[in-house]
A and B are shown apart, each in its own frame.
Chain A
Amino acid sequence: MKKEKVLIANRGEIAIRIMKACNELGLDYVVVYTKEDRASGHVKKALKERGSQAVYRISSYKDPNEIFSVADHSGATAIHPGYGFFSEDFRFARRAALRNRPITFIGPRWEVIRDLGSKINTKRIAKSLRIPVIPGSDEPIYSEIEAETLAEELFLKQKEQGIDKPSILVKASAGGGGMGIEEVNHLDVFRQVYRRIQNYAKRQFGDEGVLIEQCMRDYHHLEVQLLCSQHKEVVHFGTRNCTIQSTGRQKRVEVAPGFDPTIWEYPFDARKVLDDMVKYSIRLAEKVEYDNVGTWEWIVTRDGKPYLLEVNTRIQVENEISACISRISRQRGPVNLIKEQIRSALGEKLNFSQRHVSFEGTSIELRIVAEDVKRGFAPWCGTITRFEFPDEPWVRVYTHVPQDEPYEIPTEYDPNLALVIVWGKDTQEAKKRAKDFISETVIDGKDSRGNGIITNLSYLYEKVDEVLRF
């Protein structure tokens, strides 16, 4: 491998994980940080390992110009976007590839990011490959008659399936992020809602296209982890279950594998569902010639039907629980997906195939956040004075919060404190270890009024019991 230098365009624990991966691969790296993050762990680690030449202060993590400016100045040859920020920004990836001094974007090629970045587009391609998607329109609807026919059909279908309270969602097709979405519980009010959303869409987005789909209620949120290379290799790393989420749809506890029929009973054949999801995900990946790590998000309803939601064309926070339970026959120890991602983006071949991959045990990820679970997960801010957690061989902790000095949580970012990855030889052991870890963790802190820190530790403790139960 030629000497590459990776610019890590992210902060916090993911930056630290990428640095470690670089170190292990023998790659050079530079990090960036903003004023608020000057005391952050990733800056300290970089200063310690590479000195001030590898650390650049920028105005914002979200300004691509800053990233490219530093990349050129520091001589970086590749950019790792982490997750969030530029990880799924096809324009950023495109600019990296097309500028006069091209830089390797560590992620899929930009065309893939763009095409799979659109849910509607993904849905259409999936449909064409006979991959199940949520019933409903896969293109914007402009005519009321068309809309009503579809709505009627969706209600009928739900009734046939014996769904107790059938309902559908009406969305502005140009919208996103929860804007312009309404639920319809009865066909009688459909027309009214449809017109309202249509008007809203026209006003807000200048396009009155509306999407209609079945409203899913009783379901689990699952993911399939894939790793692909530029040499048309596709390998999966099993499934994850990310059903435990905050009210704002933020994941809090994740488990790999996606279901465990050995400890819970499922109203469907769990193994088959998982296999199907993997099969479908690979089918889509092969079709679009996917070339990096990616996560296929699915929902599984009580009747055991998987529906493809979307594809996340990036490394995810929870990637490591999949890595934790994966074993590659010729390698020692678990896989490091970030390392594999970097290698793949730099054009290398995977040096294993699916038949070399086996799975062992269960892994649980806990996200420790300074938030008030009882008050709608409201973020807490202040200064952390003490942060202690047990050091065990079965746990890995990623945090940018220093353990040796007080740390003020930057108010501009979410108050994520640590990621905890626990492994056990089976689900029971993993659950027990997770609870043990939580019990032994101590976090002290004060806000500006002198009140003590609020974290979600007890919430996590309660939720661990529920994992994987449908």
Chain B
Amino acid sequence: MSINLNDLLRKYKSHPYEDHEILAPHTGVVKFKVEEGQAVKGPSGQWLHRPGTLLYILEREKNPKRITSRFDGIVTDLRVDLDGKFVEAGQPLMLIRHRLNKQEITNRILKEVLHIFPAPERARYFFTPETSTKIEKGKAKSLSVKTGDEIVIMSLMKRDTILNYEGPSGVLYEVYFKNGDILEQGAPLFGVCLPERLPFVEKVIQRIKTEWDD
């Protein structure tokens, strides 16, 4: 293996954060419900059915919409100057500095270890129905793929193209998008683990489990 696990882990340990930019999903008048530096929580519960901390209310056409946090973290760069103002869609409102947990670190390191199948175009992506069912049933990790398999549908300009997998054979180890997401060109779609690398991958997970404190 060419990947130095120690270096990777050190890198994440020195900066175990990820900043999520919170953008206004649409136009409307914004009213903040958090303060700079406040700790917020993401959705919780077994089915993530309990919404996270209320971040702000965005009112458009007399519909005050409660926007809650999707991540655990700390509020920074809060645009207090926009409080009570009309904002346009996509307006940055704040950052949420999220401390990476074990699972997330694992995912990140896996991205470097697995064979990543990237999005060929900026487009909307879906799994083929069969793959989709298997993934929903949680059987992704036993789903083996080889060159030529029909895994993903790319939807570009209202036209669907089936993408055939190209690359080493292995098991579909990780999925990096939800059905219907728009991905930038080159963004990872899924990661395939070569059978001979499986033990190494397990080792990575094991090490993070023991060396990382949440």
Q: Name B's interface SS.
A: loop
Distance in angstroms from A154 CB to nearest chain B CB is 34
Residues of B within 8 A of A63 (CB): 26
Q: Complex: how many Å from CA A415 to CA B121?
A: 15
Question: Is residue A381 within 8 Å, beta carbon to beta carbon, of the partner chain?
Answer: yes
Residues of B close to A413: CB separation below 8 A: 157
B25 close to A (CB within 8 Å)? yes
Q: Which residues of A contact B156 (CB under 8 A)?
A: 379, 381, 411
Q: Bound complex: CA of A57 vs CA of B90, how far in Å? A: 8
Q: Does B60 contact A (CB under 8 A)?
A: yes
Task: Give A379 to B123 CA distance when docked, in angstroms.
Answer: 13
B123 / chain A contacts, CB cutoff of 8 Å:
411
User: Scoring A residues 414 to 453 as 1 if CB is less than 8 Å from chain B, else 0, what string do you get?
Assistant: 1100000000000000000000000000000000100000
A379 to B, closest residue via Cβ:
B157
Q: Is B197 an interface residue (CB 8 A)?
A: no
Beta-carbon nearest neighbor of B88 in chain A: A57
**Smallest beta-carbon distance B118→chain A, Å:** 11
Q: Is the CB of A59 within 8 A of B26?
A: yes
Which residues of A from 448 to 469 have beta carbons under 8 Å from B? 448
With A and B bound together, what is the CA distance between A414 and B159 in angstroms?
Answer: 11
B176 at the interface (CB under 8 A from A): no
* Chain A residue total in the interface (Cβ 8 A): 22
* Residue from A57, A59, A66, A381 within 8 A of B157 (CB atoms): A381
A219 at the interface (CB under 8 A from B): no
Residues in B with CB closer than 8 Å to A57 are 27, 88-91
User: Does B185 have its Cβ within 8 Å of any Cβ on chain A?
Assistant: yes
**Residues on B with beta carbons closer than 8 Å to the beta carbon of A66:** 26-27, 60, 89
Contacting pair A58 B88 (CB below 8 A)? yes
| A-B interface pairs (CB < 8 A), number | 57
> Chain B residues near A59 (CB, 8 Å)?
25-27, 89-90
Is there an interface contact between B88 and A411, defined as CB atoms closer than 8 Å?
no
Chain B residues with Cβ below 8 Å from A58 are 26-27, 88-89
Picked from B89, B120, B159, the residue with its CB within 8 Å of the CB of A34 is B89
B159 touches A411 (CB 8 A): no
Instruction: Please name the residue on chain A nearest to B28 by beta carbon.
Output: A69
Q: Min CB distance, B130 to chain A, in Å?
A: 23
Chain B min CB distance to A38 (Å): 9
Given contacts A56-B88, A58-B88, A59-B89, contact A414 B157 (CB under 8 A): yes
**B61 interface hit (Cβ, 8 Å):** yes
Output the least CB separation between A456 and chain B (Å).
15
> In the complex, which residues of chain B have a beta carbon less than 8 angstroms from the beta carbon of A65?
26, 60-61, 63
Q: A73 at interface (Cβ–Cβ under 8 A)?
A: yes
* Residue B86 is within 8 A (CB to CB) of chain A in the complex: yes
List residues of chain A with CB within 8 A of the CB of B88.
56-58
Known contacts A65-B61, A69-B61; A411/B89 CB under 8 A: no
Contact A56 B90 (CB under 8 A): no
Contact with A along B141-178 (1 / 0, CB 8 A): 00000000000000011110000000000000000000
- With a cutoff of 8 Å between Cβ atoms, the chain A residues found around residue B185 in the complex are 448
Residue A68 at the chain B interface, CB threshold 8 Å: yes
A63: nearest chain-B partner, CB-CB: B26
Q: How far is the CA of A68 from the CA of B86 in the complex (A)?
A: 13
Contact for B121 among A68, A73, A411, A412, CB less than 8 A = A411
**B207 interfacial contact with A, CB 8 Å:** no
| 26-83 of chain B: CB within 8 A of chain A | 26-28, 60-61, 63
A70 close to B (CB within 8 Å): yes
Q: In whole angstroms, how far apart are the Cα atoms of A34 and B26 in the complex?
A: 10
A156 lies within 8 A of chain B by Cβ: no
**Identity of the chain A residue whose Cβ is nearest the Cβ of B186 in the assembled complex:** A448
A381 to B185 alpha-carbon distance, docked (Å):
12
Complex Cα spacing A448 to B121, Å: 8
**Which of B's residues lie within 8 Å of A, judged by CB?**
25-28, 60-61, 63, 86, 88-91, 120-123, 156-159, 185
Q: Contacts A57-B91, A58-B27, A66-B60 given; 4 further ones with Cβ under 8 A? A: A57-B27, A59-B90, A66-B27, A69-B28
Chain A interface residues (CB < 8 Å from chain B): 34-35, 56-59, 63, 65-66, 68-70, 73, 378-379, 381, 411-415, 448
